[in-house]
Structure 1
Amino acid sequence: MNPLRPRRSLRVAAVPVLLLLALAAGCAQPPSQAKPFPGGTITLGFSAWPGWFPWQVAEEEGLFRKNGVNVELKYFDSYTDSLNALATGKIDANSQTLNDTLASVAGGAKQSVVLVNDNSTGNDQIIAKPGITSLPDLKGKTVAAEQGTVDHYLLLLALRKAGLTEADVKFQPLPTDAAAAAFVAGRVDAVGVFAPFTTTALKRPGSRAIATSADFPGAIPDHLVVTRALVDGNPQAVQGLVRTWFDTLAWIKDHREEALQIMAKRAGVNVPDYETYDKGTTIFTLDQNRSAFTGDLPGRAKEISDFLVAAKLVDAPPPLDGLFAPQFVAAVQP
């Protein structure tokens, strides 16, 4: 099994439509029935994305225990499965995008963002075949991306920048791995993908990225998201998770070679390949976290909410009350 299946297999759409309907209808396990707190083991989910592999370092180096929190770290080959697990209370915390969190909340899930892991600063890309050298060249061309994902979102942002809309291209919705494969096989003219599938897509001779998340700073943030039940019932555990993250970043800085070995192994790639992803992912420092919570995040949430509604991925904008819980990063001692 390839551990680098899409981290964002429905990154923006987040919870699949059927699950959204189930949550709205009360068919899925409601947050009030999630496992009781305080105490017990906290189950933390993550999946394949460079900004989330530090959790593997935290586990192997005993940093959760150091911060007084008992964590079962659960790796998901399918990112979508991790979203569903958090939305239905099967896990207590998950690393996921703001886009997906908003979609889950729109479906009825009670979740809070407690930490900014990173922003994508180049690892999400629109890659085009030879002869397509700019965004306006996409007009009339076939472009693949996974419906509702952040790479679909990136495509729409890029088209808007070029004065185009999705109606100006032939959009082909495909899962991210399949979209990359279709592009390499010459079945589509351009593709929206994230690392490591950018590496796959660029194997098509002469292909190149004509837009990346670096062109849209802050558009694709990734977070540690927890259930409201955990925030309300065991805030000490949430604080332990957040402290662990910053301890892990410090450990990685001091033991970079060892850390790279751990993260590359979890990713299923070699260290040199893993290092190429570092440039396209900006891990947020403590100061950047604090600034984000008091600055950009609320506005970004509104923009993404508008996208979800416009793309008909949700019926109504998600409620934003309680979405952000800045008190945990605020309490971390530098």
Structure 2
Amino acid sequence: MFTSPFRRRSILAAALCLAALLPARSEAQTPAPAPVRFSWDWAPQGYHAIWALAEERGLFRDAGLRVQMDRGYGSGDTISKVATGAYDVGFADVNALVQFNARNPDRRVIAVQMVFDTNPAAVVTLRRSGIRTAADLRGRNLGAPEGESSRVLFPVFARAAGVDASTIRWTSMTANLRETMLATGQVEAITGLQMAAVFSLRAAGVPAQDIVVLPYAAAGVDLYGHGIITSAAFAESHPEVLRGFLRASLGGLRAALADPAAGMAAMKRREPLFDEALELERFAMARDVAILTDGVRQKGFGTMEPDRMARLVAINAEVNQIANPPAPESLYSTAYLPPLADRMP
């Protein structure tokens, strides 16, 4: 059949127009990634590789998220910024939520996924002090920032270990001077997160064999540690975003546990001054002390049990002298976690 040159040109032009329209239609049907602002608890540490790998391996992208990650300045600061909406999600010590929510019931912040199943708070000292057990702390000079969670929880540790907390003399300092004051002999011991204090001392040149650690958990203080937090308002208004974030975080955690060196390399690409060798050791300590616990092996990553949360509220209310603590069930939610089968180690 004969087709005129004019008709052929018309058909070709129509085809080209259709081809040009198809990609635009496809792109229009693909939703833009949801932005999420995420604050860590502190400066870059080995355990933050969980989220560096989640980003680098496309887990956030696959969840439909575009995540902005920033360093933190302590759990209290992170909680406050999440409460005000400056950040959507944070990583912080869930013990600090008790006092914050008691003081700010209209800006409630909740835990939605536990990461440190065991609280890594500890007394850390040097061998030259002669301190080997909790009993040796009587009458000693301990240092920590005022309001820092491990210092606030010290009376709980002292009671569990059979030590009269009133015999302790305290020296206050900013967090960045804590390990320096121990290393220079201005205090005899400090309180802090085990992996933070130990590796800050190591970075300051203190040999590992000279460091003595008295973990609170070893004395029977059974508390959760750090977890992923968000505001109750954000959880209610963005449930699928939150579910996607927790799913990607779990994938990043599995990736970091499977290949810690890859996690440190991912952090190095984010932070040029990141010390891969030192932080690999820090991550290993966090894994062994707080992340991959017997409880996690039995009950899965991220789990928050009602009885442990109730105990956490009761203990924190006691040590902080909170007359009207928040109800334990108002402090956390497991509704956004992946299914238990997907959370088993």
Separation in 2 of the partners of 1:274 and 1:242? 24
- Superposed, which structure 2 residues align to 1:82-101 within 5 Å? 82-101=78-97
The answer as to whether partners of 1:52 and 1:117 remain within 8 angstroms in 2 is no
* Residue 263 of structure 2 is aligned to residue 259 of structure 1: yes
SS at the partner of 1:245? helix
The yes-or-no answer on 1:55 pairing with 2:58 is no
Indicate yes or no: 2:337 matched with 1:329: yes
SS, match of residue 70 in structure 1: strand
Which has the larger displacement, 108-117 or 54-63? 54-63
**Partner residue in 1 for 2:229:** 225
CA distance in 2, matches of 1:222, 1:290: 11
Instruction: Give yes or no for contact 1:243–1:332 (8 Å, CA) kept in 2.
Output: no
Counterpart amino acid of residue 65 in structure 1: R
CA contact (8 A) 1:44 1:91 kept: yes
Q: Deviations over 1:165-219 (max 9, x none)?
A: 3310111122232121111111111111333332344655784325114414642
The answer to whether the 8 Å contact 1:293/1:324 transfers is: no
Give 1:1-334 correspondences, 5 Å limit: 40-48=34-42, 49-77=45-73, 79-108=75-104, 109-120=107-118, 122=120, 124-128=122-126, 129-194=128-193, 195-201=195-201, 203=205, 207-215=210-218, 216=220, 218-263=222-267, 268-281=273-286, 282-283=290-291, 287-289=299-301, 291-309=303-321, 316-329=324-337, 331=339, 334=342
Q: Please tell me whether the aligned partners of residues 113 and 304 of structure 2 are also in contact (alpha carbons under 8 angstroms).
A: no
**Letter aligned with residue 197 of structure 1:** A
Shift of 1:86: 1.1
Task: Give the Å deviation of 1:226.
Answer: 0.7
- What letter corresponds to residue 54 of structure 1 in structure 2? I
Shift in Å, 1:234: 1.3
Structure-1 separation of matches of 2:250 and 2:157? 33
Would the aligned equivalents of 1:130 and 1:208 in 2 still touch at CA under 8 Å?
A: no
Q: Deviations over 1:2-45 (max 9, x none)?
A: xxxxxxxxxxxxxxxxxxxxxxxxxxxxxxxxxxxxx9522111
Q: Tell me: CA distance 1:123–1:80, structure 2 relative to 1, closer, same or farther (3 Å).
A: closer
Q: Structure 2 vs 1, CA of residues 87 and 122 (structure 1 numbering), >3 Å: closer, same or farther?
A: closer
| Residue-by-residue CA offset, 1:216-275 (whole Å, 9 max, x unaligned) | 464241111111111111111111111111121233345443222123565754222112
Cα distance in 2 between the residues matched to 1:146 and 1:117: 24
**Overall identity of the aligned pairs, in %:** 15
What CA deviation, in whole Å up to 9, does each residue of 1:65-103 have, x standing for no partner? 111233222323555432321122211111111112222
1:275-324 deviation line (CA, Å, top 9, x unaligned): 22234323255943465335522322322232222xxxx56423434321
Q: Are the equivalent residues in 1 in contact too, given 2:112–2:337 (CA < 8 A)?
A: yes
Q: In 2, are the aligned partners of 1:124 and 1:192 still within 8 Å (CA)?
A: yes
CA distance in 2, matches of 1:122, 1:319: 24
**For the aligned residues, what is the CA RMSD?**
2.9
Structure that is richer in helix per residue: 2
Letter in 2 for 1:179: R
The gaps in structure 1 that reach 5 residues or longer are 1-38
Q: Aligned partner of 1:185: which letter? A: T
Larger radius of gyration: 2
Q: Deviations over 1:35-61 (max 9, x none)?
A: xxxx95221111335444411221222
CA distance in 2: counterparts of 1:223 and 1:321, whole angstroms: 16
Letter in 2 for 1:147: E
Shift in Å, 1:123: 6.7
Kept after mapping to 1: 8 A contact 2:125/2:212: yes
Q: State the aligned residue count.
A: 292
* Corresponding residue SS for 1:118: coil
What is the CA–CA distance in structure 1 between the aligned matches of 2:125 and 2:117, rounded to whole Å? Answer: 20
Distance in 1 of aligned mates of 2:121 and 2:323: 30
SS in 1 for 2:226: strand
The answer (yes or no) to whether the contact 1:64–1:241 under 8 Å persists in 2 is yes
Structure 1 equivalent of residue 10 of structure 2 = none
SS at match of 1:328: coil
